[in-house]
Amino acid sequence: MEKTQSILVVDPDTDFLAWVQHQLGTASTRVITATKSDEALKIFGREDPDVLITETHLLPFSGQELLVKVRQRDSNAIVILMSGFGTTQAVIESMKLGAFDFVRKEALPFTLKAVVDAALKAQAEMKAATTFKPQLTVEEHQDSIVGKSAAMQQVFKIIGRVAHSDAPVMITGESGTGKELVARAIHHYSGRSTKTFVAIIMHLLYLPEGLRWQRPKA
Domains along the chain with CATH numbers: 5-129 (3.40.50.2300), 137-218 (3.40.50.300)
Amino acid at position 179, single letter: K
pLDDT for residue 163: 78
Rounded to whole angstroms, the Cα distance separating 74 from 64 reads 15
Nearest partner of 74 among 37, 39, 103, 49, judged by Cα: 49
Comparison of pLDDT for 93 and 209, the residue scoring more: 93
Whose CA is closest to 193, among 149, 163, 158, 148? 163
Q: Which helix (H) or strand (E) holds 140?
A: none
DSSP category for residue 107: G
pLDDT at 33 over 80: yes
Buried b or exposed e, range 122-138, using 16+ CB within 10 angstroms? bbeeeeeeeebbbeeee
The listed range with the strongest mean pLDDT (16-25, 104-113, 137-146) is 16-25
User: In the chain, what percentage of residues exceed pLDDT 90?
Assistant: 37
| pTM score | 0.62
Instruction: Write down how long the chain is.
Output: 218
